Structure 1
Amino acid sequence: MDLAEWDQRHRDAFYSVKEALPYLEGVFVAYNSNIDAIKHLNEEDLAKLLELFEAAEIQEKISAYPREIKEPLDFLARLMISMRDGKAAEVPTYTAETHEWLKGHLGFDYARMGGQAGIIANLLVHLGLKKVVAYVPWLSEEQAGYFAPSESLLHPKVEGGKVFLKHPLEAYKPGIDSKVNWILEYSKDLDVSCGGNTFKVPRDNRLIISSRPKWLRLDMDKEIYEQLDSLGHVDGAILSGYQMIKEEYEDGTTYEDYVAKSVRAIEKLKSLNPELRIHVELTSIQNRVIRKAILEEIVAGHVHSLGLDTVEVANALNVLGHEELSYAVIRKGENGIMALYQGAVQLLEDLALERVHVHCLGFYICALAKGHPLTLKEHRDSLLFASSLAATQALEGKIETLDEAEAGLEVPVSEKGLEDLENFKLYCVGRKLCSPDEFEYGYIYGVKHDAVIVPSKVVSKPRATVGIGDAISAGAFVAMLAKMKQKWAGK
């Protein structure tokens, strides 16, 4: 694989998708939005935090691997684990005391729009889409202020029993508190020392402390559900936030109630437009019961597309009963990319999807069911467009316009990503999934599926890591929708 050739393919893909985007009439985005309090950690910050506890206490808590933040020591243990492994993680907290403790002992640098749906809605508006309808069940006045000030960005509002589309600042619910998440970002090579144990952080990444207040419900207002046709025509829907579903609630309801409601909303959306494509963006889900329910009851058989990263692939495979493959994905090593590809295909089959898009540092894999209306080149263009968006997000920390997104074209294609793909080439050609020439284009052919695999652009020192994954998944999915609409318009 040639670096210069893949760089040119990125350029060609970006302008090809840019030409197709105006064909889209609208996209629906739900459910999770919050305010992110962001802190970039340095060695001084870390030293102050570590001084608050005994080293033995910290090590004991690290060994216990807390799956939610109940006390400050849980937070510090998960931060150490995330830094040690260089892996992004999202850990829930159900108490307001965590937020207050972090404010008092650490503080944040700045606040901005958070939550996958909120970030994606703003991104799509900045890309120039004609209509982006966001829906956040807990939209507060403060939260509404973080949405882009654009006439193209709308939110359902119930007035007099009828549903109207208005900008979030005109559609919020009075008296609702805001949901605030903490994003703790850290940099590669940061020195960490705790009780005689020392290590260097292997890569830039972050730990997210996700606020899950007791009043939080992932649901859709009855009036809005019954009048979903008020959204007007939408070509696709991007749904996220299902990780906030709890096993049990104080009022006696359970996750099964909210899973059922989520499925009904998906089926209602699909009934409004037979050509509608629905994408679910997965994230870190600590609770195995919820993870399994989301995959088997919400995703399987109901949506078309799934987006996830390496860790999320491993977690999904594990809960679906593929423990050995899950371990191979998370262990990486020489066969890591092969396991990741096999994992993407396994999820495609197990969940009866059209498309599974996996984004990793340096390359993307997209497994596709046979019979998709787009060619592999059109799918490849979608992935490469997303790669350029992600590069801009990492380089600038934001994307304000589609023209500004061209900055990502100047970011080099990852040499490590190309190296990983070259190692994968032997596997694909040896199993006759493609010829050497076909692999050079990024095309893989299976008996029951196809796939596209591309190297991506990587910023060596990103300004921020939050939002990069959302830019990748949403960018590729919307580019795919645009290409489909463009193709149908030409017939």
Structure 2
Amino acid sequence: MLEKARELSIYTAYNINVDAIVYLKEEHIKKLVSEFGEDTIRKRMDEYPREVNEPLDFVARLILALKTGKPTAVPLVNEELHAWFDSRFEYDLERMGGQAGIISNLLASLDFRRVIVYSPILAEKQARMFVNKPNLIYPLVEDENLVFKHPSEAYREGDPIKINRIFEFRKGMKFKLGNELIEVPFSGRFILSSRFESIKIETRDDLRPFLPEIGENIDGAILSGYQGIKLRYSDGKDANYYLKRAKEDIMLLKRNRDVKVHLEFASIQNRELRKKVIYNLFPLVDSVGMDESEIAHVLNALGYSQLADRIFTYNRIEDTVLGGKILIDDMNLEVLQIHTIYYIMYITHKDNPLSEKELRSSLEIATTLAAARAKLGDIKTPEDFKAGLTVPYNERGEFVKLRFEEAKRRTREYKVVIIPTRLVKNPVSTVGLGDTISAGAFTSYLAMLKEKGKL
């Protein structure tokens, strides 16, 4: 089905950034503990800072992430901290980041027919991180006409660059916090996401009138980056202003053709903003993708705090299924895709045009693509997909299937499909794996709908 998916044209927006990657070593943590002190760090860990305003906030949340081994993203809101980070860490790698950037490079490298990528900011350094492929294009307005160019020919002088710092950690890494010996239980990453006023999540005014035309010429859209919206801005604008524009963008894309839209949800620490994004945007899209911690955050924002707490605490499949059914119904979604370390899940209503077998094959493509990326570090050609086929399913695969069968007995009004993930034991990188899963799942889902004449 990947061959069929490659015939599609996809639009993806809004967030691109530079990922500055550090492969964490025990020495990094020892130096940080020595600099700030065990008692000071523990006190800040107990306070659980939800954003990074000073270096101690960063150290506290980083060590919490290492203790659980779970992928974590926390916003950096103090622009003056760049110098502190640059003085403490040497970056092992700088590459394309941001959901729209990662997904557009992935689909272009897989030779999709046409990949239109859009971000309201495009600096030269960023533009040159896009793969050099003729099927990857960026929309511009010249002489009041819509034109498309490769991003490397479309950058704007003076545009800011968004830098996210990513700290990759490995299972088994050990360090001491006072008398406590901490051993990292899983490989993962801690993302420090820049959240500055200069970075807007919107479509520029000159391009907005052309969104219906873009919508006519694509099979689907993958939208992301809404976690970058701030509650309030110094110019008097607020989150409501940018969410109103985001809603209008989706409706403009769908104006002349009911194009399928997928929203890739990412962690939003502020509960008020999270709630605004959910209620404003989820009802307008067809598909949403998220991980298990994000579905718990979403359910908490919607008022299902006990269920959210159970998902956070126990990670039981039956709770995740129940939460997914609530989201499908409350937000009127066509399909919800949830990805975790050990499994990927689709939840749809019973009348979905695709059979459970077809939905399962879509998820198989998704986990194989992610395994290929984890094994190789990146996907550069369609042939790289085969590397994922050599990766075995994770050791909890049979347990996942058993628990799923128990949960499925309560889902007669829905189609619920789950597969174990293919898990690379020593991944080259874990950055972008969730985005890869969602892109693979959504595009293969579209390809199957198209083959049935439902797209």
Q: TM-score, normalization: structure 1? A: 0.90
Q: Contact conserved, 1:32 with 1:117, CA < 8 A, in 2?
A: yes
Structure 1 pair 121–310 and aligned structure 2 pair: CA distance change class (3 A): same
How many angstroms does 1:317 deviate by?
0.5
Q: Does 1:236 align with 2:236?
A: no
Aligned pair partner of 2:307 in 315, 318, 325:
325
Q: Cα deviation per residue 1:149-170 (whole Å; 9 max; x = unaligned)?
A: 1110011112223221111111
Q: State the secondary structure of the residue aligned to 2:13.
A: strand
Partners of 2:106 and 2:407 in 1: how far apart?
37
Q: State the secondary structure of the residue aligned to 1:188.
A: coil
Aligned pair partner of 1:170 in 153, 177, 184:
153
Aligned amino acid, residue 455 of structure 1: P
Q: After TM superposition, list the pairs within 5 Å mapping 1:64-463 onto structure 2.
A: 64-231=47-214, 233-274=217-258, 276-299=259-282, 301-332=283-314, 336-429=316-409, 431=410, 433=411, 446-447=412-413, 449-463=414-428
How many angstroms does 1:402 deviate by?
1.4
Q: State the secondary structure of the residue aligned to 2:130.
A: coil
Match of 1:6 in 2: none
Contiguous gaps of at least 5 residues in structure 2: none
Aligned amino acid, residue 267 of structure 1: M
Q: Contact conserved, 2:21 with 2:93, CA < 8 A, in 1?
A: yes
Partners of 2:314 and 2:263 in 1: how far apart?
25
How many angstroms does 1:126 deviate by?
1.1
Contiguous gaps of at least 5 residues in structure 1: 1-16, 434-445
Partners of 1:342 and 1:427 in 2: how far apart?
9
Q: Cα deviation per residue 1:204-230 (whole Å; 9 max; x = unaligned)?
A: 111111012221111111121111244
Partners of 1:85 and 1:185 in 2: how far apart?
14
Q: State the secondary structure of the residue aligned to 2:452.
A: helix
Partners of 1:74 and 1:261 in 2: how far apart?
33
Q: Does 1:481 align with 2:430?
A: no
Partners of 1:221 and 1:153 in 2: how far apart?
20
Aligned amino acid, residue 481 of structure 1: L
Q: Contact conserved, 1:279 with 1:306, CA < 8 A, in 2?
A: yes
Q: TM-score, normalization: structure 2? A: 0.97
**Structure 1 range deviating more: 465-474 or 197-206:** 197-206
Q: Contact conserved, 1:292 with 1:319, CA < 8 A, in 2?
A: yes
How many angstroms does 1:463 deviate by?
1.0
Q: State the secondary structure of the residue aligned to 1:421.
A: helix
Match of 1:472 in 2: 437
Q: Cα deviation per residue 1:271-304 (whole Å; 9 max; x = unaligned)?
A: 1312x110000111101111001111111x2000
Q: Contact conserved, 1:94 with 1:214, CA < 8 A, in 2?
A: no
Q: Contact conserved, 2:160 with 2:198, CA < 8 A, in 1?
A: no
Aligned amino acid, residue 451 of structure 2: Q
Q: Contact conserved, 1:162 with 1:223, CA < 8 A, in 2?
A: no
Aligned amino acid, residue 417 of structure 2: V
How many angstroms does 1:423 deviate by?
2.7
Aligned amino acid, residue 484 of structure 1: L
How many angstroms does 1:19 deviate by?
3.1
Q: State the secondary structure of the residue aligned to 2:36.
A: coil
Partners of 1:20 and 1:487 in 2: how far apart?
12
Aligned amino acid, residue 226 of structure 2: Y
Aligned pair partner of 1:33 in 7, 13, 16:
16
Aligned amino acid, residue 243 of structure 1: Q
Partners of 1:372 and 1:124 in 2: how far apart?
25
How many angstroms does 1:421 deviate by?
2.0
Structure 1 pair 371–93 and aligned structure 2 pair: CA distance change class (3 A): same
How many angstroms does 1:371 deviate by?
2.4
Structure 1 pair 427–278 and aligned structure 2 pair: CA distance change class (3 A): closer
How many angstroms does 1:375 deviate by?
1.9
Q: Contact conserved, 1:23 with 1:485, CA < 8 A, in 2?
A: no
What's the Cα RMSD here?
1.5
Aligned amino acid, residue 71 of structure 1: E
Q: Cα deviation per residue 1:67-107 (whole Å; 9 max; x = unaligned)?
A: 11111111100101111111111111122322221110112
Q: Percent identity between the aligned chains?
A: 38
